[in-house]
Structure 1
Amino acid sequence: PEVLLGHSIGELAAAFVAGVWSLEDACRLVGARGRLMQAARPGGAMVMIAASEDEVVAVLEGREGVSLAAVNAAESVVVSGDAEDVAEVAGHFEALGRRTKALHVSHAFHSAHMDGALEEFAQVAAQVTAHAPRLPVVSNVTGRVASARELADPSYWVAQLRGTVRFAAGVEQARELGGKVFVELGPDAVLTTLLPDEAVAVPLQRTGQAHAFHLALATAHCHGLPVTWPLASTTAVAELPTYAFQRERFWLHAVSGAGDVESLGQVSAGHGLLGAAVTLAEDGLTVFTGRISLSTHPWLADHVVGGAVLVPGTAFVELALHAGDYVGCGLLEDLTVEAPLVLGERSSVMVQVSVGEADERGCRGVRVFGRSGEGGWMRYATGVLSPVVGVPEAVGGVWPPSGAEPVGLAGLYERLAGRGYQYGPLFQGLKAVWRQGREWFAEVELPGDGGVSGYG
């Protein structure tokens, strides 16, 4: 360990590990402390209250029968003292809707109930020999690193027995010293539950969990702490074989998309958003299916509008064009997006694209549907596909077109973000824009290494 922190009697254990006392002297102190505390007057109680220290101190003012026993976290303190007074304090906070919990203790520790043990404990503490600590020990009394002089002073340990346990301040001190991984040595996971969320908490023992010790070592190891594994192992260490492992797989081989299901007439759609296609026997509809989510299509996370991830309109165009190519109608005459398709952070949306039978002109209607979870299907876009006649007219001559005026793009995406269009890097592909009368010309380029395989 780089720094040691205990809680109440745990600080004595920490001081021993740091080399302050010999094992015999440490046992003498712990034995005397336990004996004297158990001999304290009865009728005490301790209660944990989900409140700040300032709130509790204000309520304790004028109540001599109750003490602030511990400040374990920013919103977790313990009061101790006469049972009736402690119950009144707890009732006050319960009426405010705060959580309280009575602690299963034999006496009211860290309160005036301990006053009768202080003098004799001071005599015992004066009989042991103290040494300078080899490791920093964080004090329960001050919440800061204790000096060698403090740890050698019997009056310090008397104050530590009677006063408030400043565990929350001690944790902050340990973190200021670089502590990121806290390993708890105790009969259960008690102190680690008091640590802030950003700290790694590793309890070495858990009630009813025989594997907790080795799990804790593995967790510590994964967070960069050195573990002497031969000493931790309870079984003989076997050398791994020097040949390749023999193995036989029993898992089904995965297929991309929806795969080929010949019995249903499905074939692979061969597309980045669609998995399979099937032509229905009865009404001639061709249906394409797929599934869209941020896990399968992470690039969609760069298209945020109004704080929500939306499937962009160009994705509906892509779906319609692919369906049109499949049925021989490669021209998308028009497309209306009827509703925004929102993607959740962990949910996925099932997609269906249906293409109807051809009319007298050879045109086909196309519709895009989606369904999230157990909800019903909803139509998101409708349009018309037609056979391609000729080649679309290309922009001829000089580029940019003669007479077109350039349009400045400085701060464009910042201005869009201010209006709720928070486009990530993959949706910031506009490179240049020109305007000629009522016509606009633009250069758009896919940024970075965006994958385009499987898309039209």
Structure 2
Amino acid sequence: MCRISGAGAMASVELPAKQVNSELMARGIDDVAVSVVASPQSTVIGGATETVRDLVARWEQRDVMAREVAVDVASHSPQVDPILDDLAAALADLKPMTPKVPYYSATLFDPRERPVCDGRYWVDNLRNTVQFAAAVQAALEDGYRVFAELSPHPLLTRAVDQTARSLDMSAAALAGMRREQPLPLGLCGLLTDLHSAGAAVDFSVLYPTGQLVDTPLPAWTHPHLFIEGEGQEQRAQGACTITVHPLLGSHVRLTEQPERHVWQADIGTATLSWLSDHQVHNVAALPGAAYCEMAVAAAGRFSARRRRSATSPLSKCFCSTSRPRSTQSRRWMRQVSSTSRSRPIRTARVRGTPPRRCMPPRTIRCRRHTTSPRCWRRTRPV
């Protein structure tokens, strides 16, 4: 391998092998070939260094994930032809044995064919395209669901996952080692992962004199640990209800200020489940359109002939933690008056601390809300 070191390069691209071959033929490229069919969506190419790097740059310009592999020899490509005869001579004395475990070959045309791992087989292994996806697919179709990669750093676990997903199957792809990761206990961690994933582990190899004993499973008491809202109002069961705006809430009359109208509502992930889908910095936030809707809805409660102003304060963006069973809520009060100097009233009751980054202070003011056909007279085609 030292004879051809530095003359080639390899790269991985998130494209099917058939599409990569078509692009190479369309561009008339003959010094790069498909080296590995990793998965139905991933391919590895190998060949001349400059051509490989040019292809990677072109794919990146098209927003196709591609990266060069950290090697200086283009294995599984014509780049290794000069050393094949020497390799065959060096491996001529090999005396292969019959595999004792199921063996799916990525070198032979049929991955289920029992290989004869002599010198000729390993020469073909170095030169021919690696049919890794076909070998994994055959193993999956035969019922295998747990895969382990024994290499200094995982390179094929992603390809195994992609192949399993393409077949609509679930599989566990485990890595034995990772780059710069100490292994004080050797591969015991991988053995544990294999056992946890459901693989059959022969513990008698490590403990020949021991015997596994069925022990009872942990007894779970299932206590209720969700934090309930302090002072959370309990809705009366079977009480009479009225239809109100989902954001504006119910109308409240102020006896001391009859010219003002106030609405109050509980806003939170407990009452508005869709609020959890709108997040800012991973925190549920009331969208700006909701404030506009409340202002317009408040102004719409009055006749179109009367000039009213609806004010919706945005002094603080409504934020809360978005746990699935959150009971957090805030009570908002909106007011509408006949004067333009109406001051918004807001009361809030919420548990927890709001995020530091939030919406800057804003105020929405709806001066006029027209519901009659006269509102269409001012429209113009766009």
TM-score bin, normalised by smaller chain: 0.5 to 0.7
Residue 239 (structure 2) aligns with:
332
Tell me whether 1:175 sits opposite 2:150 in the alignment.
no
1:320 aligns with 2:235: yes
Query: Which residue does the alignment assign to 1:201?
Result: 173
Whose strand fraction is larger, Structure 1's or Structure 2's? Answer: 1
Tell me if structure 2 keeps the 8 A contact 1:184–1:202.
yes
Q: Percent identity?
A: 25
Partner of 1:124: 90
Structure 2 gaps, min length 5: 211-222, 248-270, 278-322, 333-347, 359-382
8 Å contact kept, 2:149–2:174:
yes
Q: Helix, strand or coil: the match of 1:190?
A: coil
Does 2:180 correspond to 1:214?
no
The partner residue of 1:136 within 102, 111, 122 is: 102
1:199 to 1:183, Cα distance in 2 relative to 1, 3 A: same
Larger radius of gyration: 1
Aligned twin of 1:223:
197
Aligned to 2:61: 95
CA 1:72–1:352 in 2, change beyond 3 Å: closer, same or farther? same
Q: How many correspondences in the alignment?
A: 246
Q: Is it true that 1:45 corresponds to 2:9 in the alignment?
A: yes
Give SS of 1:114's match: helix
Q: Contact 2:229–2:351 (CA<8 Å) still a contact in 1? A: no
Q: State the Cα distance separating 1:151 from its structure 2 match.
A: 1.9
- Who is 1:240 aligned against? none
Residue 225 of structure 1, CA deviation: 2.3
**Cα distance in structure 1, aligned partners of 2:133 and 2:20:** 15
Q: What displacement does 1:74 show?
A: 2.1
Q: 24, 30, 38: which one pairs with 1:60?
A: 24
3-state SS of paired residue (2:74): coil
CA distance in 1, matches of 2:189, 2:160: 19
What letter is aligned with 2:272?
A: V
Structure 2 counterpart of 1:335, which letter? I
Shift of 1:175: 0.8
Q: Distance in 2 between matches of 1:153 and 1:337?
A: 81
In structure 2, distance between residues paired with 1:200 and 1:48: 22
8 Å Cα contact 2:94-2:118 kept in structure 1: no
Kept in 2: contact 1:66–1:111 (CA 8 A): yes
Distance 1:352 1:230, change over 3 A: farther
Deviations 1:312-349 (A, max 9, x none): xxxxxxx4316xxxxxxxx8343334318332484424
Secondary structure of 2:241's partner? Answer: strand
Distance 1:213 1:335, change over 3 A: farther
Please list, as runs of the form range in 1=range in 2, the aligned pairs for 1:281-300 lying within 5 A after superposition.
288-289=232-233
Cα pair 1:320 1:353 within 8 Å, conserved? no
Q: Tell me the CA shift for residue 168 of structure 1.
A: 1.5
Q: Residue 245 of structure 1 aligns with which residue?
A: none
Name which of 304, 328, 338 aligns with 1:350: 328
The residue type equivalent to 1:105 in the other structure is V
| 8 A Cα contact 1:257 1:275, kept in partner | no
- Amino acid of the structure 2 residue aligned with 1:179: Y
Deviation at 1:373, TM superposition (A): 9.3
Distance 1:225 1:256, change over 3 A: closer
What TM-score results when the alignment is normalised by the length of structure 1? 0.46
Residue type of the alignment partner of 1:208:
E
Instruction: Give the alignment partner of residue 114 of structure 1, picking from 71, 75, 80.
Output: 80
Q: Quote the offset at 1:143 in angstroms.
A: 6.2
For 2:122, the equivalent position in structure 1 comes to 157
Match of 2:70 in 1: 104
Q: Give the Å deviation of 1:371.
A: 9.4
- CA gap of 1:152–1:101, structure 2 versus 1, over 3 A, is closer
Is contact 1:44-1:80 (8 Å) kept?
Answer: yes
Amino acid at match of 2:142: L
Give the root-mean-square deviation of aligned CA atoms: 3.7
3-state SS in 2 of match to 1:69: strand
Structure 2 distance, partners of 1:143, 1:217, is: 32
Q: 1:178 to 1:118 in 2, by over 3 A?
A: same
